[in-house]
């Protein structure tokens, strides 16, 4: 029930609707936990059924009304408990690396293309990360406790991202040595 906990985490400080959660999951928390809107709506219902979330309809003008969810006391407790659970970590699954095991003269150009695309995507993401850090996390030691944790997640994203860029360059160089 990991997605449930990610959603509850997103609701720690704000009430959010399913639509907003789905949108936010493409940034912020979503950098290391993605979910489609279908999955989010389903999970919201499950969490509500368990009594961990409360729902409330909000009238809007200029847009359809929305249903916002907030953590209940039970939800807050369950989340706090979950943090103490020992979760086995799931190492990343990446198709690109599996594909690289199949490298040959025929597909080298295609794989170089995929790497280039991923590199560009990562550049954009890093740009965003850098902006967020500059704006909100300039001096991590002075942040309130919870924000320190958020900063650390961001910091890992930045480190891994930068390393990924360097790897892309190395990979493209090596792929260039493959004779076609």
What would the two tokens of residue 133 be? 């850090």
Which segments of the chain does DSSP mark as H helices, in order? 2-10, 18-24, 37-49, 73-84, 95-100, 108-136, 145-176
Instruction: Rule CB under 7 A: say whether 133 interacts with DNA.
Output: no
Q: Which is nearer to DNA, 3 or 158 (CB)?
A: 3
Largest CA distance in the chain: 63
Please report, as residue ranges, which positions from 11 to 30 form the binding site for a second copy (by CB under 8 A).
Answer: 12, 29
Instruction: Rule CB under 8 A: say whether 116 interacts with a second copy.
Output: no
Q: Which of 45, 12, 46 is nearest to 28 (CA)?
A: 12
Instruction: Rule CB under 7 A: say whether 64 interacts with DNA.
Output: yes
Q: Which is nearer to a second copy, 67 or 150 (CB)?
A: 150
Instruction: Rule CB under 8 A: say whether 33 interacts with a second copy.
Output: yes
Identify the residue among 31, 52, 69, 129 touching a second copy (CB under 8 A): 31
Cα 116 from Cα 102, distance rounded (Å): 18
Sign of CA dihedral 27, 29, 31, 35: negative
- Draw the binding track, 75-94, toward DNA (x: CB under 7 A; -: no contact): ---------------xx-x-
Q: Which is nearer to a second copy, 63 or 105 (CB)?
A: 105
Residue 72 near residue 51, CB atoms below 8 Å: yes
Identify the residue among 42, 150, 155, 165 touching DNA (CB under 7 A): 42
Within 10 angstroms of residue 141's Cβ, the number of other Cβ atoms is 6
Binding site for a second copy (CB under 8 A): 2, 5-6, 9, 12, 29, 31-34, 79-80, 82-84, 86-87, 89-108, 110-111, 114, 118, 140-141, 145-146, 148-153, 155-156, 159-160, 162-164, 166-167, 170-171, 174-175, 177-179
């Amino acid at each position: 029930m990991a997605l449930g906990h990610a959603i509850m985490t997103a609701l720690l400080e704000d009430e959010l609707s399913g639509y907003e959660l789905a949108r936010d999951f493409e940034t912020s928390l979503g950098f290391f936990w993605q979910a489609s809107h279908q999955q989010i709506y389903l999970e919201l219902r499950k969490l509500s059924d368990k009594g961990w979330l409360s729902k409330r309809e909000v009238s809007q003008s200029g847009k359809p009304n929305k249903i916002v969810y907030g953590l209940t006391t039970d939800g807050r407790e369950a989340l706090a408990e979950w943090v103490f659970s020992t979760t086995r970590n799931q190492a990343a699954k990446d198709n690109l690396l599996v594909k690289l095991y199949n490298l040959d003269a025929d597909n080298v150009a295609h794989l170089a293309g995929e790497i280039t695309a991923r590199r560009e995507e990562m550049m954009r993401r890093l740009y965003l990360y850098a902006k967020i850090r500059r704006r909100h996390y300039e001096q991590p030691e002075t942040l309130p406790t919870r924000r320190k944790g958020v900063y650390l997640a961001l910091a890992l994203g930045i480190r891994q991202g930068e390393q990924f860029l360097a790897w892309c360059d190395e990979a493209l160089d090596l792929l260039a040595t493959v004779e076609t």
